[in-house]
Structure 1
Amino acid sequence: MQNESATATTETRRTAPPAPVSTVEVAATAPGAIKVIRRNGKVTGFDAGKISIAVTKAFLAVEGGAAAASAAVREKVEAITAQVVQGLTRHLTGGGTLHIEDIQDQVELALMRAGEHKVARSYVIYRAERAKERAAEAAKVPESSQPRLSVKLDDGRTVALDEARIRRVVTEACSGLTGVNIEEVVASALRDLYDGIPEAELSQAVTLAARARIEKEPNYTYVSARLLCDAMRHEALKFLNQPETRPTFEEMKAIYPSYFTAFIHRAVELELLDPKLALYDLDALGKALLADRDQKFDYLGLQTLYDRYFIHSNKIRFELPQAFFMRVAMGLAINEIDREARAIEFYQLLSSFDFMSSTPTLFNSGTLRPQLSSCYLTTVPDDLGGIFGAVQDNALLSKFAGGLGNDWTPVRGMGGYIKGTNGKSNGVVPFLKVANDTAVAVNQGGKRKGAVCAYLETWHRDIEEFLDLRKNTGDDRRRTHDMNTANWVPDYFLKRVMEEGQWTLFSPEETPDLHDLVGEAFEKRYCEYEKLADEGRIKNTKRLPALNLWRKMLSMLFETGHPWITFKDPCNLRSPQQHVGVVHSSNLCTEITLNTKAGQEIAVCNLGSVNLPAHIADGKLDIAKLERTINTAMRMLDNVIEYNYYSVATARNSNLRHRPVGLGVMGFNDALYKLRLPYESDAAIQFADNSMEAVSYFAIKASTDLAQERGAYSSFKGSLWDQGILPLDSIQILAKTRGTKYLKQDVSVSGQFDWDALRSRIRTVGIRNSNTMAIAPTATIANITGVSQSIEPTYQNLYVKSNLSGEFTVVNEYLVNDLKKLGLWDEVMAHDLKYFDGSVQRIDRIPADLKELYKCAFEIDAKRLVDAASRRQKWIDQAQSLNLYMSQPNGKKLDELYKHAWLSGLKTTYYLRTMGATHAEKTTIQDNRLNAVGTGAAGGASAKPAAKAAEPIVAPVAASDVGSAKVCSILDPDCEACQ
């Protein structure tokens, strides 16, 4: 029998093999009441202290009492114990269960991480011997005499465990998937059960049995999602008092229609959905639900939907995936003449994942407060009432899930004269602090944090303090740790930087027209104001070398991740709506470029994204399918405008007048994988060009078709559209104003589309939407659809992603499938990927062509990201959320990169992501064979032994890890853009 005593004699410790960690069987000391399942099925409390005892025993068994008693060994034991506890409990903050084998796996791995290979090897051998002994003992016991487990149902009754149903559900979940093993999942799930396990924990155990295998086989993510869906069905059907509450996937196909009708009526009764939804022909809509599409989700996508999107009452989710998509579609079709037909059309598009509406639309469509718009842009006026009115607008707009972009440039700078008090202003910064705290206070109904970005033009008197807002040093009353910031940069400033000239800062109450001027008019007026300053007729000014200010802008961007750099002139000179206003800022994520005017117009944009890899067929872009998708998508986006709930009247008036929408794309890097094009290649840059041309053509054409059916937007006359100037043509306006010396942007067309005919048709029938395209970050909807984010390069080929739904292992399925074809995918390869932070570049046995194709974000030249974005920008009437990645940034590289972005005609940039020293712990493959993993493993040697797969994944941050700055990263669960 295994010795579980913590008081064995020293002599015994010297000769006995290291004891596994079954000593962790006393009163729980970890948070969340974590329990440990023993091998006999009994449940005891988790005690972290017992892990320390067991690790000490392991050292004693190998090194003897004297050596094990040394201070150095005690420090090792303490560190190893902490690592084990952290690895075991980080997913169980709310409590849960652990199997004794899981604890032993973590101890084994921690010993390997610490370099204690002799101790670990002895530990592994002992575990293997004990496993054989237990198997032999179990074989002697008749099956009939083995204990049967019971399950405690939700109503308190206890019934025998139905192993046959577990097997049936797992078999359905594995159907049609390669590389998955039904018996492994079933055995693992049964191992983690205990007598009297609650019904909810039973479902969780089965799901987690599959989830734990995602790292070694990506298809387990679909198995996990399908098992999760089984639990969802039970929760929803039980809440609705349906006769059958435990249907399998196949059984649910017949139940979905009746469930859907019950769901709508109950949600309306609970005042969670608009009563108008109950007036639809629910029988027809229920029959249109495609139950098979429940199997399209991966685990991250379905868990995200469950946690954050599904309709719930008292935390009970009773909305199932297909009902969710239909509910969203019904809201969007509510004003259509043939609303059932349109709802089915919209549902089929959403549930196919070919297109996905933005998060606010998914949150709120069909509800009593259908705030479906994604972003709002405002200009803050230079008076106290207007400033706090703008802050109130922020709160109201943010309440129902809108992201905010605020233009603060009109507010006078520090030292500005205040006539009403005969005093001097404290500048814009104190008000930004108020806006920051408002965003934190209004948390969008608990679904995600309120989020806002403040914009300030580069000539503003307070620009230097503005650059410091995100620093962790200095007066905290003049810091905004939670709010995003962005520079609104006029072309003339960059010209002065290029020429190494001087730059003058002004307070806007003394230069009131500068903010509305662009191009040559701005340059002329700016120089006039400089002359007035030289003459002493303008007092509140400051002059400094333009290059010094530029360097500080880049320095703060590198250090704190803010302010982002966005370009005023391209946004305005290429705006279709320059005849009726000025673009004063972008939005929270820098893809929206719409006019704003203090007190009169709050710009609103409604977003959705085309799933680009879903439109790749036979090695090329499926043009016909893309047109069908965009036709329906543009109708859905246009429908948002009437149906939308507006909490601020000026937002409603602006949106109805101009009707802007933002159709974007996501999964760009996945599309490149399907086309076998490395992100850095010329062919990939050309695909960025050609694919965006197709999206542009069909989006503009679809909006024109809507104009013919519904009428053009009301401010169409005088717009660039009305003049026959399309986004491609507006590049010439920028080139003429800026000069070709400062613009290097490709202006070619593919010749595949008849742009002349489209121009002519627009001038005849008009266009329905003042703006049609914008590429948003799409982080969450990309998760839902299981594709790469937006136009982003792949972050890492294997990593742990954190968001508000938890932590999820993400594996690049395209890479794994390629490695499978070559016979190279095994647990050794998985360990190597983790050791090298998801990079394939230093794994010797991976072929060179795959290394090129599967470069990660920090391995790609950031200038190529700009080049691809430049090609897209010529087709887009708004902008792009463009993150830039740099593994080893320095001043020179940043200077070159951002000048390249400006010269390439980009309108905006987004986060600068740099590789920091901050690390996130890796998840681990529980294979119990770490001692067998090394350079001699089958399949060839790796650059380093996979046994060292314990090294942490590098978490990208927007700073160089100086200090402890609070910055956004790809994995930041609080960042609005990451949700």
Structure 2
Amino acid sequence: MGITTSTPRLSENALKVLQKRYLKKNEEGRIVDTPERMFRRIARAVAMADLNYGSTLQDVEISENEFYSLLTSLDFLPNSPTLMNAGRRLGQLSACFVLPVDDSMESIFDAVKNAAIIHKSGGGTGFSFSRLRPCGDVVGSTKGISSGPISFMTVFDTATEAVKQGGTRRGANMGMLRVDHPDIMSFITCKDNNDTLNNFNISVALTEDFMRKVEDDGDYELINPRTKRMVKRLKAREVFDLIVQRAWSNGEPGVVFLDRVNQQNPTPGVGEIESTNPCGEQPLLPYESCNLGSINLARMIKKAAGSKGSEAGREVDWEKLRDTTLKAVHFLDNVIDINKYPMKKIEEMTKSNRKIGLGVMGWADMLIQLGIPYNSERALGLAEEVMRFINEEGKKASEELAAKRGVFPNYESSIYEGKRKLRNATITTIAPTGTLSIIAGCSSGIEPLFAVSFVRTVLEGTKLLEVNPYFESVAREHGFFTRELMERISEAGSILDIEEIPGDIKEFFVTAHDITPEDHIRMQAAFQKHVDNAVSKTVNFPHSATPEDVKKV
């Protein structure tokens, strides 16, 4: 069998992103790569993992061709570190890491060093600072006074600022603190000054007990993690209201329902989950990493058979979606084996659980092609159906791999023990897919369109008018396309109040700000029902939103 070749259909913006961040450069900084070569290098490197499991070189060639077609068709793309580093010297392929931070100088600065190594290779890191003694507490070795978790977070932030991720992007961190930590009030307000902790997203780890106290308007205890003793009581509702107020003011802190996360922990016998990756969609154990990938739903569409099907004459191509899911799970499982891990402990933990995170992008594009409004019951129903299908087919693919390669080593400490033999402790995650969706030429993650027409400022300040290709096609088909109208839409940001556009078209070209916060949450919830890990989702609020609006969400 020979090597198959195909040329990816990449937009001008996709090519610019690849040239800036992903394609190989020589020592002078000149690009010595092409997208085809990049995808071939990735496909070949990932396919080589099959040799570990008794495959022949001919089998590996078949996998390589399948992976190459998967990538060049833009049906599926792995996370950025895999695109950047597969088949290259650095070889670090995971996007998400969680590192422990224990209550000692050695542990704290080990974590700083390890985070810097991860950021250099293109990964993002999550930390829980909940084990650190509070500010003002005694330091046993010197009888001095502790500076507390927030002070040490600035050390992590400064180190991150100094390291460019793989030479392509700034590092990113998630910092978490339990709501019952004595420094919680300082943590909630630590990003009031927009010049500090810019390399951190921060989230308060809420407990079931705390939320009950919020409902009952009761007090709750702050516990010193060093002594395990209560140091103070606070009004739960006042703390919750402060979180809401700060989130309304500048978007942070977020909240993580830690007890709920651990109820869904697939390996409770191995340890507790205490943090997530920077965007929050991947909860991980200490020293664990995960590699992600996304199916492009915009390409999982076919013409409807006969007169039946959707109003747009198209329907979901379930067979293609099944085949893509099967190959994507194979790809992501292989990545775990060929990955060059930044630390031995991370390699051991990752290979023991073999978590993967298969998600989606192009959801808004799929809905538009099917003629379904994003903020409709039909869209919510299809969201559940699509994600249920991917999650179940993904688990079937993991079962097939387990039959050939064995279950993940921590299987006996997992919720699947004796029920279902899987190769991977988790299968599905929905990530934001910012740059991936630009490369794939589709809408990002499960988000609605941000705009149907907008002006993009490119190099040297040149302004380009960009129109969503689906909208342009419909506008031309219905005879209302003019450049002047597209410019008006780009200024307005929405098409809802533009008279020239028919009402039924306005319905399924809704944009992020046309949709209520509640509808954003309902969409997230629909997908979350069938996702092993979590779902990254933006909720857009109007400028007129109040803290009470944020509180409802």
SS in 1 for 2:48: coil
Aligned to 1:300: 13
SS in 2 for 1:379: coil
> In the TM superposition, what is the alpha-carbon distance from 1:800 to its structure 2 partner?
3.9
SS in 1 for 2:108: helix
Aligned mates of 2:534, 2:206 — CA distance in 1: 15
> In the TM superposition, what is the alpha-carbon distance from 1:543 to its structure 2 partner?
2.2
Q: Is the 8 A contact 1:577 1:595 kept in 2?
A: no
Aligned mates of 1:363, 1:843 — CA distance in 2: 43
CA shift in 2, pair 1:576/1:805, >3 Å: farther
**Equivalent position to 2:485, from 819, 822, 829:** 829
Aligned to 2:471: 815
Counterparts of 1:673-712 in structure 2, within 5 Å, are 673-712=368-407
SS in 2 for 1:333: helix
**Equivalent position to 1:847, from 502, 514, 519:** 502
Aligned to 1:635: 330
1:505 pairs with 2:222: yes
**Equivalent position to 1:445, from 166, 173, 176:** 166
Aligned to 2:120: 399
SS in 1 for 2:284: coil
Aligned mates of 2:272, 2:116 — CA distance in 1: 24
Q: Is the 8 A contact 2:98 2:276 kept in 1?
A: yes
1:236-294 superposed Cα distances (whole Å, 9 cap, x missing partner): xxxxxxxxxxxxxxxxxxxxxxxxxxxxxxxxxxxxxxxxxxxxx9xx43xx211xx34
> In the TM superposition, what is the alpha-carbon distance from 1:809 to its structure 2 partner?
4.7
Aligned to 2:311: none
The runs of 5 or more residues in structure 2 that have no matched partner are 305-313
SS in 1 for 2:276: coil
1:531-585 superposed Cα distances (whole Å, 9 cap, x missing partner): xxxxxxx46x232221111111112112222222221122110121112211101
1:885 pairs with 2:551: no
Counterparts of 1:769-788 in structure 2, within 5 Å, are 769-788=424-443
Aligned to 1:29: none
CA shift in 2, pair 1:450/1:801, >3 Å: farther
> In the TM superposition, what is the alpha-carbon distance from 1:808 to its structure 2 partner?
6.2
SS in 1 for 2:293: strand
SS in 2 for 1:335: helix
> In the TM superposition, what is the alpha-carbon distance from 1:805 to its structure 2 partner?
12
CA shift in 2, pair 1:886/1:723, >3 Å: farther
1:38-71 superposed Cα distances (whole Å, 9 cap, x missing partner): xxxxxxxxxxxxxxxxxxxxxxxxxxxxxxxxxx
1:488 pairs with 2:205: yes
Q: Is the 8 A contact 1:404 1:587 kept in 2?
A: yes
Counterparts of 1:611-650 in structure 2, within 5 Å, are 611-617=296-302, 618=304, 619-650=314-345
Q: Is the 8 A contact 2:97 2:126 kept in 1?
A: yes
Larger Rg: 1
**Equivalent position to 1:309, from 22, 27, 34:** 22
How many positions carry a matched residue from both structures?
533
State percent identity of aligned pairs. 31
Aligned to 1:584: 274
Aligned mates of 2:527, 2:31 — CA distance in 1: 40
Aligned to 1:895: 551
SS in 2 for 1:316: coil
Q: Is the 8 A contact 1:331 1:365 kept in 2?
A: yes
Aligned mates of 1:804, 1:702 — CA distance in 2: 44
> In the TM superposition, what is the alpha-carbon distance from 1:802 to its structure 2 partner?
6.8
Q: Is the 8 A contact 1:375 1:604 kept in 2?
A: yes
Aligned mates of 1:424, 1:434 — CA distance in 2: 17
SS in 1 for 2:98: strand
> In the TM superposition, what is the alpha-carbon distance from 1:436 to its structure 2 partner?
0.3
SS in 1 for 2:166: helix
Aligned mates of 1:706, 1:809 — CA distance in 2: 47
Aligned mates of 2:263, 2:166 — CA distance in 1: 38
CA shift in 2, pair 1:453/1:808, >3 Å: farther
1:320-347 superposed Cα distances (whole Å, 9 cap, x missing partner): 1211111111111123233222111100
Aligned to 1:377: 98
Amino acid at match of 2:39: F
> In the TM superposition, what is the alpha-carbon distance from 1:801 to its structure 2 partner?
5.0
Q: Is the 8 A contact 1:413 1:460 kept in 2?
A: yes
Aligned to 2:71: 350
**Equivalent position to 1:659, from 354, 359, 372:** 354
SS in 1 for 2:180: coil
Aligned to 1:333: 47
Aligned mates of 2:183, 2:467 — CA distance in 1: 45
SS in 2 for 1:886: coil
Amino acid at match of 2:42: V
Counterparts of 1:711-860 in structure 2, within 5 Å, are 711-724=406-419, 762=420, 766-800=421-455, 809-837=465-493, 839-860=494-515
1:165-199 superposed Cα distances (whole Å, 9 cap, x missing partner): xxxxxxxxxxxxxxxxxxxxxxxxxxxxxxxxxxx
Counterparts of 1:429-440 in structure 2, within 5 Å, are 429-440=150-161
Give TM-score scaled by structure 1 length. 0.53
CA shift in 2, pair 1:590/1:813, >3 Å: same
Aligned to 1:552: 242
Give TM-score scaled by structure 2 length. 0.93
**Regions of 4+ moved over 6 Å:** 802-808
Aligned mates of 1:845, 1:594 — CA distance in 2: 50
Aligned mates of 1:607, 1:716 — CA distance in 2: 21
Q: Is the 8 A contact 1:303 1:805 kept in 2?
A: no
Q: Is the 8 A contact 1:300 1:808 kept in 2?
A: no
> In the TM superposition, what is the alpha-carbon distance from 1:417 to its structure 2 partner?
2.5
> In the TM superposition, what is the alpha-carbon distance from 1:419 to its structure 2 partner?
1.8
Amino acid at match of 2:426: N
Q: Is the 8 A contact 1:712 1:769 kept in 2?
A: yes
Q: Is the 8 A contact 1:706 1:768 kept in 2?
A: yes
1:644-673 superposed Cα distances (whole Å, 9 cap, x missing partner): 011111111101111111000001111111
Amino acid at match of 1:647: P
CA shift in 2, pair 1:844/1:389, >3 Å: same
Aligned to 1:567: 257
1:751-787 superposed Cα distances (whole Å, 9 cap, x missing partner): xxxxxxxxxxx2xxx1101111111111111000100
> In the TM superposition, what is the alpha-carbon distance from 1:406 to its structure 2 partner?
1.0
Aligned mates of 1:566, 1:545 — CA distance in 2: 19
CA shift in 2, pair 1:563/1:414, >3 Å: same
**Which structure ranks higher in relative contact order (CA pairs < 8 Å, sequence separation ≥ 6)?**
2
Amino acid at match of 1:300: N
Aligned mates of 1:423, 1:775 — CA distance in 2: 45
> In the TM superposition, what is the alpha-carbon distance from 1:834 to its structure 2 partner?
2.1
Aligned mates of 1:374, 1:577 — CA distance in 2: 21
1:607 pairs with 2:292: yes
Q: Is the 8 A contact 2:454 2:487 kept in 1?
A: no
Q: Is the 8 A contact 1:396 1:648 kept in 2?
A: no
Farther off after superposition, 802-811 or 575-584 = 802-811
CA shift in 2, pair 1:403/1:420, >3 Å: same
Q: Is the 8 A contact 1:406 1:454 kept in 2?
A: yes
CA shift in 2, pair 1:386/1:801, >3 Å: farther
CA shift in 2, pair 1:469/1:672, >3 Å: same
Aligned mates of 2:504, 2:438 — CA distance in 1: 27
Amino acid at match of 1:359: S
RMSD: 1.9
The runs of 5 or more residues in structure 1 that have no matched partner are 1-280, 512-537, 597-601, 725-761, 898-979
1:695-743 superposed Cα distances (whole Å, 9 cap, x missing partner): 101111101100001000011014112253xxxxxxxxxxxxxxxxxxx
